[in-house]
Structure 1
Amino acid sequence: MGPKMEEVQGRELKEEYQEMTGASMLIQALGREKVDVIFGYPGGANLSTYDEIYRTGIHHVLARHEQGAVHAAEGYARVSGKPGVCVVTSGPGATNVVTGIADAMIDSLPLIVITGQVATSAIGTDAFQEADVIGVTMPITKHNFQARDVEDLPRMIKEAFHIATTGRPGPVLIDLPKDVASASGIFNYEQSIDLPGYQPTVIPNKLQIKKLADAVTEAKKPVVLTGAGILHAHGADELMEYITKQQIPVASTLLGLGAFPGNHELFLGMVGMHGTYTGNMALHEADLLISIGARFDDRVTGNLKHFAPNAKVAHIDIDPAEIGKNIETQIPVVGDAKEALRMLNEYDGTPGEFSAWKEQLNSWEKEYPLWYKEEGESLKPQRLMEMIYEETKGEAVVTTDVGQHQMWAAQYYKFDNPNCWVTSGGLGTMGFGFPAAIGAQFAAPDKQVVAVLGDAGFQMTAQEMSILQELNLPVKIILVNNASLGMVRQWQELFYEQRYSNSIFPIQPDFVKMADAYNIKGWKIEDPNEMQVALREALDHEGPVLMDCRVEKDENVYPMIAPGKGHHEMEGIKP
């Protein structure tokens, strides 16, 4: 995996106020920010930066496509909690990371994206490999900079890390023209950050905390909805303390999985379009909904007219723009999720009494569990997810693309630990899961990383297998192969009278041969009776592995809330 992280972090840095080039300033600043790995791809406009990478030996991972680099940086950020750093060149290099930037923006992932740019004298002339990356990325970054003076660069980098990692995390882009990168100036990284217009509220208002605590006392049917904001705030321990104390049932958004243990007796499962019956009905029947770090997107709420119709809504979020944006909120709490939970835990209020409510929830769980039919000779994808959970004992870092396999993983893999679930939520990006697994492995080198991928999404970034080959990263690729764009096919079956327009693959590559071409061990598994033994062997293998698991082609994801329906109108809740 290249140089050890402590060797990179412990590298001796140059003296403050020394004269150096812009490229040298960049690498020095990354060292000051304790960056231990960079994902990127060189080109004409960032050669000065790559020359400095060569000279200093900072750990760089060469992606085989810029999209792979930015998704790897996202995976690193999700698992480590630190900003992922991505370096690419100008023009097509910059535009190739746009999807990853948008993905990170909507999922609140801290990224530092450094793009090369043509010389300042050529900007605006349609020069070779020029693109207006500032204009392109302004709507999908938390902030972006273009360096025009080399001595502004240290300040920009320091501000970029501050903005990306404070408040609601997000991507920040620094556009570095080639002449600024090669120009010389004084490196000053000790200057203080002064951003009067950017002052995120971290500590919640005590009065609002009291209102929330009093609402819990008065409630009969409360539910806590966990979102990714708890994970970004590192607030899982505080959440456990709060739930243990108050005995409130917990449901999760897709990105909030792992904030609360999936096997806990108070956990109701994921909510939303493919959530559990119990979780969705809990939202529908609740008289108090406490949302922590979730943004009430459409896949969670269903039809807004029917969302939590009986509930008083309390919303804890560090981004005030999210509160009241989609759902009317009676108790707004602006602040960091960890701090809000800490204050709730310190509040000496009267506990509520929810025994009847919990009996109702237990009854629903017994009557309407997740289900699938184990019939025929094909491997059921749901059973595959259960096997992965059993063989990893729930301790793996799991990454996915988007689609049916993503939903099955969310339903059947019980995430007991935070920061072990890496998926593309808001943007729903195919091709995300595999390079994200590479970034996750760098973030957690001692953990088992399993990339659960669809056969379609994998082909969008499969070239990143070169990284596994080059560095012998022990990522395990599990292809949930149904020879189709599974979720597209499901919607065409249900809503387009089975007109399967361009969603079924008439021919596929030999994935095992693809793995062999990269000197990666590969299996093709069709017999469900052979799956568990093969999976165990794959997970025990020291190096990277690709398993082509041929699953039932016509299997659909249930339960399902159809478009325009509410939580109480789920389909497929029983066989």
Structure 2
Amino acid sequence: MSIKENDRITGAEIFVKSLEAEGVDTVFGYIGAKVIDIYDKLYDSKIRHIMPHHEQGGVHAADGYARSSGKTGVCIATSGPGAANMVTALATANMDSVPLVAFTGQVPNTMIGTDGFQEADIKGITMPITKNNYIVNDVEDLARVIKEAFHIASTGRPGPVLVDIPSNILKAKAKFNYPAQVDLPGYSPTYRANKLQLKRAAELINQAVKPVIYAGGGSIISGADQEIKELAQRAEIPVTTTLNGIGIFDENSYLSLGMLGMHGTTEANLAISNSDLIIALGARFDDRVTGKLEDFAVNADVIHIDIDPAEIAKIVKTKVPITADVKMALEELLPRIREVKRPGWLKEIEEWRKIDQPADPKKAEKLLPSEIIETLYQLTEGNAIITAGVGQHQMWAAQYYKYSKPRTFISSGGLGTMGYGFPAAIGAKLANPDRDVFALVGDGSFQMNIQELATAAKNRVAVKIILFNNQYLGMVRQWQELFYDKRYSATCLRRQENCPPHCSAPGQDCPEMIPDFIQVAKGYGIKGETVTERSQIKNALKNAIKANESYILNFMIEEEENVFPMVSAGGSLEEMILRKDNNNK
């Protein structure tokens, strides 16, 4: 539709034209009465619309789209319950700094505050879990607000922004004038580092004996992979990452320590604990990383580079605070860094690598996740995008697939949202149609958003689902095994009314798992197979890879397989429970 300079068009038309002006190519949304005018105009737009089967799934899909592409995800819901169904997913994106713009319909301005049909104060509800939010009270403001929302969501420390639009605004008319720039007094993220602080950081790095680079999700957002690689290689500094930082550094490198924290590697946890300098890059010292805070890296100075000044020194005392974009800061820091070899430090780390003893698949009665994921890595040559839900399978996905590129591991880190992985994979595949995308899910987590099988099937999104079926809420069951004397309260997914009241372990008389995942998938038109034998693993994965449509593999794994290493709540990183320790109990 061509618009003349003086034409007055509806708010719904302004909405669509604004998205087009932002270069939006994909929107995830669920229609309702208060956004019906938007959908009437989307009908003629070239913007691709993907309808999820629950608003939470739609936001997670937009989130996966954003994390895997670096673009801003866009989602739509109607007022009241539709908007409220977005809340968990918006909180997920907020905790992990994901650029999203969420649009919600609202009752007309004149009805706000009257408890009208499907009215909810979504602006108030989401204020603590969004980077910013708006309610549009004048159609003349709509284009400006949308411009500001995209700018805020994608700049500085990214995050979700919500725009609530009363239905009368969508019907009202105004001239379309999409701003070329935004004017936001008080909002001016700092991208360039302070020169004096960079000099101090370089001096500490050049003097350090046992330095460690600690890279988080902010490093990926910044696009700092090459700069981190150069810093690590030039000064021979080992690199550990957070869960959301996975992929920023090639895990096949001799300098890679893998992930640290509660389920981090022995070498990562012990290297941090024995280091004399931590170079924190786009990370926030989450409690799952630090363990017992007063015992965390007690002999280490800290250089902390982060674009969000609120994160610096919030948890851990910082010697050199640098508020800046990680990539830009490292570009200026690198010329100051001397080339160094650290044979003694690396030899110490090599000894720590040998401490943990992974399980031997040949000795297991059922399938082990390690062998499944390692086989997947070999078959995909490490080039797939992996999404994960939350639970044991999430940690196995982080531990056993060797990531070498950013934006290839996508999961809910800060909030730990079950049900995230599968819809996020749909978004990632839509953003990366030429890449293999695998959703690694647990039998508990998958059922949180299992309805999105319809979204994948109807839109022919070829997501491959790897289901780790241990018939438990595995991570909580692991805690019950280790710390609650195997009292498996409310974690067995096979439990039925006629089960013994105090059943504590899997047995021969357990009822069948509900549901039969292969039959459920078949009901949505998705093919798949159940895998029970080690000899079937490779061929089953090959079948999934070859399929040009969605495909599900239901792997029946060891019911009581645990995630090790493990740092118990309140423990220090040096107090890890290892597989060999648990096997000796």
- Does residue 320 in structure 1 map to residue 326 in structure 2? no
How many residue pairs match? The answer is: 563
C-alpha distance in 1 between matches for 2:70 and 2:145: 21
CA contact (8 A) 2:393 2:442 kept: yes
CA contact (8 A) 1:14 1:28 kept: no
| Consecutive unaligned residues in structure 1, runs of 5 or more | 1-11
- Does residue 481 in structure 1 map to residue 469 in structure 2? yes
Residue 303 of structure 1 corresponds to which residue in structure 2?
292
- Does residue 424 in structure 1 map to residue 430 in structure 2? no
Residue 393 of structure 2 corresponds to which residue in structure 1?
405
Displacement after TM superposition at 1:15 (Å): 5.1
Residue 556 of structure 1 corresponds to which residue in structure 2?
562
Residue 545 of structure 2 corresponds to which residue in structure 1?
539
Q: Decide which of 248, 252, 265 is 1:259's aligned counterpart.
A: 248
Displacement after TM superposition at 1:16 (Å): 5.4
C-alpha distance in 1 between matches for 2:362 and 2:318: 43
C-alpha distance in 1 between matches for 2:146 and 2:358: 48
Please list, as runs of the form range in 1=range in 2, the aligned pairs for 1:39-188 lying within 5 A after superposition. Answer: 39-188=28-177
Q: Structure 1 residues 13 and 385, CA, compared in 2 at 3 Å: closer, same or farther?
A: farther
469-478 or 158-167: bigger deviation: 469-478
C-alpha distance in 2 between matches for 1:350 and 1:102: 42
Displacement after TM superposition at 1:351 (Å): 3.4
Q: Deviations over 1:272-306 (max 9, x none)?
A: 00000000000000000001000100000000011
Q: Which residue identity does 1:305 align to in structure 2?
A: E
Q: Structure 1 residues 239 and 18, CA, compared in 2 at 3 Å: closer, same or farther?
A: farther
Q: Structure 1 residues 309 and 371, CA, compared in 2 at 3 Å: closer, same or farther?
A: farther
C-alpha distance in 2 between matches for 1:109 and 1:334: 19
Q: Which residue identity does 1:525 align to in structure 2?
A: V
Residue 220 of structure 1 corresponds to which residue in structure 2?
209
Displacement after TM superposition at 1:375 (Å): 1.3
Q: Decide which of 328, 344, 347 is 1:339's aligned counterpart.
A: 328
Residue 487 of structure 2 corresponds to which residue in structure 1?
499
Q: Which residue identity does 2:82 align to in structure 1?
A: G
Q: Deviations over 1:232-286 (max 9, x none)?
A: 0111122212222221110111110000011111001100000000000000000
447-456 or 374-383: bigger deviation: 374-383
- Does residue 516 in structure 1 map to residue 516 in structure 2? no
Residue 575 of structure 2 corresponds to which residue in structure 1?
569
Please list, as runs of the form range in 1=range in 2, the aligned pairs for 1:191-202 lying within 5 A after superposition. Answer: 192-202=181-191
Q: Which residue identity does 2:137 align to in structure 1?
A: R
C-alpha distance in 2 between matches for 1:191 and 1:391: 47
C-alpha distance in 1 between matches for 2:5 and 2:199: 48
C-alpha distance in 2 between matches for 1:531 and 1:351: 45
CA contact (8 A) 1:434 1:453 kept: yes
Q: Structure 1 residues 481 and 13, CA, compared in 2 at 3 Å: closer, same or farther?
A: farther
Using the size of structure 1 for normalisation, the TM-score is: 0.96
Displacement after TM superposition at 1:371 (Å): 4.7
Q: Counterpart of 1:201 in 2: which secondary structure?
A: coil
CA contact (8 A) 1:278 1:368 kept: no
C-alpha distance in 2 between matches for 1:17 and 1:475: 46
Identity, in percent, stands at: 48
Q: Structure 1 residues 302 and 52, CA, compared in 2 at 3 Å: closer, same or farther?
A: same
Q: Which residue identity does 1:33 align to in structure 2?
A: E
Q: Which residue identity does 1:521 align to in structure 2?
A: K
Using the size of structure 2 for normalisation, the TM-score is: 0.94
Q: Counterpart of 1:55 in 2: which secondary structure?
A: coil
- Does residue 437 in structure 1 map to residue 425 in structure 2? yes
Q: Decide which of 178, 194, 199 is 1:210's aligned counterpart.
A: 199
Q: Counterpart of 2:12 in 1: which secondary structure?
A: helix
| Consecutive unaligned residues in structure 2, runs of 5 or more | 495-512
Residue 382 of structure 1 corresponds to which residue in structure 2?
370
504-513 or 35-44: bigger deviation: 504-513
Displacement after TM superposition at 1:368 (Å): 3.4
- Does residue 282 in structure 1 map to residue 271 in structure 2? yes
Residue 4 of structure 1 corresponds to which residue in structure 2?
none
Displacement after TM superposition at 1:191 (Å): 5.1
Q: Which residue identity does 1:484 align to in structure 2?
A: Y
Q: Which residue identity does 2:125 align to in structure 1?
A: V
508-517 or 110-119: bigger deviation: 508-517
C-alpha distance in 2 between matches for 1:454 and 1:14: 50
382-391 or 294-303: bigger deviation: 382-391
Residue 510 of structure 2 corresponds to which residue in structure 1?
none
C-alpha distance in 2 between matches for 1:18 and 1:344: 52
Residue 499 of structure 2 corresponds to which residue in structure 1?
none
Q: Deviations over 1:413-454 (max 9, x none)?
A: 111111011100000001100100000001111000000000
Q: Structure 1 residues 441 and 16, CA, compared in 2 at 3 Å: closer, same or farther?
A: farther
Q: Deviations over 1:456-508 (max 9, x none)?
A: 11111111111221122111001000001000101111122211111001231
Q: Which residue identity does 2:17 align to in structure 1?
A: Q
CA contact (8 A) 2:462 2:548 kept: yes
What is the alpha-carbon root mean square deviation over aligned residues? Answer: 1.3
Q: Deviations over 1:169-226 (max 9, x none)?
A: 0000000000001110111113531111111100011111111111011100000001
